[in-house]
Amino acid sequence: MRLIRWKNILVIALTMMAMRLLVIFPVFRVYGIEVMFPDWGFYLLMLATMLIAAGGYVINDYFDVHIDSVNRSKDVVVGVAIPRRKAIAMHLWLSIFGLACGIAATVATHRFWYVFIFIGAFAALWIYSRDLKKSAFWGNLLIAMLSGIVPMLVGSTEYFAVADSISSWDISHIRAVKMAMQVVIFFSVFAFIYTLVREIIKDCEDVEGDRANGVRSIPVKIGLKKTNYIVSALAIVSIALVLFFWYGYLSKSRFFAYEMLPAVYLYALVALPTLVVAVASLFGTAKRKYSVLSGFVKAIMVLGVAFSIVFCYIIIGNGTI
């Protein structure tokens, strides 16, 4: 369970369920639209994503044994609790079952090209673990992009389900799909940028092992102090994203125009903690600091996904159109 990062896998599952049950369903319900993507297709989609991600964590630890033995020797699993041969077999089985679930899910989407998303994710995680992780920035960018894809997988399948179920679009279909997809896109961008921030912070935490093993991460290449400025700048951009989502979009919707709860939630539980990260990242280069910041950003990401509960409450609470 430690090897596959079960907590992270759980967050992936909860994120996908939140997008469907707390964002898309409520919006469609208010506009009187029945979601046509079948439940079995969604659960196969979710299982495929979870299995491929789990396989990615295993292969990452497989290639990172020497680095992790320096950075976090007490947490090393591959080669200690699990032999390397069994780890690579676990990666292959998780990935094979994940790809099988992904192929089965494409039957529900009626779009075969979805298969290439899962094949691409599998290949990308292998390349990242073997090679790309050793380069500055590109590995961080890839992981952030894969995180951002997760909400969009749910949104796109529901969009295509609606598109396939109607012969012509009316104003209700347009408004419902537009609102649902715009909110899902926000969550995707949110996942992307906060994952990018966290990945760079983790590189700062692991700089000692990375330097010893020839990994050319951003902190190794430009130093911890300059990387601190990058983390702080990205955190500020993240705050701007959250504020834009509220002031530029949600607050202008008739559902949220007179609601204070969403604003209070986004300010108190997302924007303000991110400001703390932006400021705290500027001072010090201790490993302990980066470890705390990494956990703090992860908590903010969970709180960001949990905003979907507030979103659902407001949408349903304001009744029908």
User: pLDDT tens, 189-210?
Assistant: 999 999 999 999 998 988 887 7
Q: What is the per-residue pLDDT for 234?
A: 96
Q: Round to whole Å and give the CA distance between 243 and 253.
A: 15
Residue 195 within a domain: yes
Asked whether the CA dihedral 307, 309, 312, 314 is positive or negative, the reply is negative
Residue 1 lies in a domain: no
Query: Does residue 318 have a pLDDT over 90?
Result: no
Angstrom CA distances, 133 to 2, 108, 124, 216, 244, stand at 21, 34, 11, 8, 32
Place of tokens 């559902």: 255
Residue 254 covered by a domain: yes
Q: What is the pTM of this model?
A: 0.91
Query: For residue 19, what are the contacts with CB-CB under 8 A and spacing of at least 6?
Result: 151, 154, 155, 184, 187, 308
Question: In this structure, is residue 216 part of a structural domain?
Answer: yes
Q: Among candidates 242, 249, 250, 248, which has minimal Cα distance to 266?
A: 242
- Enter the tokens of residue 215: 């990994």
171-181 residue pLDDT tens: 888 888 899 99
Above 70 in pLDDT, residue 122?
yes
pLDDT band (50, 70, 90) for residue 79: low
In the structure encoding, which two tokens stand for residue 136, read together?
A: 């500055």
pLDDT band at 31 (very low <50, low <70, confident <90, very high): confident
Out of 88-97, 128-137, 255-264, 305-314, the most confident range is 305-314
User: What value does the mean pLDDT take over residues 279-305?
Assistant: 94
What does DSSP assign to residue 82? B
Q: Supply the angle between the helices 138-165 and 39-63 in degrees, to the nearest 10.
A: 170
Please check the confidence at residue 66 and state whether its pLDDT lies above 80: no
pLDDT digits (tens, 9 = 90+) for 139-179: 889 999 999 999 999 999 998 888 888 777 778 888 888 99
Q: Tell me the average pLDDT across 117-140.
A: 84
Four-point Cα dihedral 181, 185, 188, 190, nearest 10: -130
- Work out how many domains the chain is built from and give that number: 1
pLDDT value of residue 67: 58
pLDDT at residue 73 in the model: 53
Q: Which two tokens stand for residue 38?
A: 């079948």
- The DSSP result for 279-315, as a single string, is HHTTS---HHHHHHHHHHHHHHHHHHHHHHHHHHHHH
For residue 241 the two structure tokens come to 């994203």
How many whole angstroms separate alpha carbon 36 and alpha carbon 200? 40
Given a contact cutoff of 8 angstroms between Cβ atoms, the answer to whether 175 and 182 are in contact is: no
Strand partners, 78: 82
In a domain, 78, yes or no: yes
Residue 229 has a CB neighbour count (10 Å cut-off) of 12
The answer to the question of residue 173 being in a domain is yes
| Residue 86 confidence (pLDDT) | 85
Which segments of 77-170 does DSSP mark as H helices, in order?
Answer: 84-109, 114-130, 138-165
* Segments forming the whole domain that contains residue 187: 6-317
Residue 72 predicted with pLDDT over 80: no
Does residue 175 sit within a domain? yes
Average pLDDT, the chain: 88
Residues 6 or more apart in contact with residue 203 via CB below 8 angstroms:
140, 210, 217, 218, 219, 220, 227
- For position 89, what pLDDT does the model report? 85
Token pair belonging to 213: 């093993």
Whole-number Å distance between alpha carbons of 30 and 64: 48
Domain for residue 165, yes or no?
Answer: yes
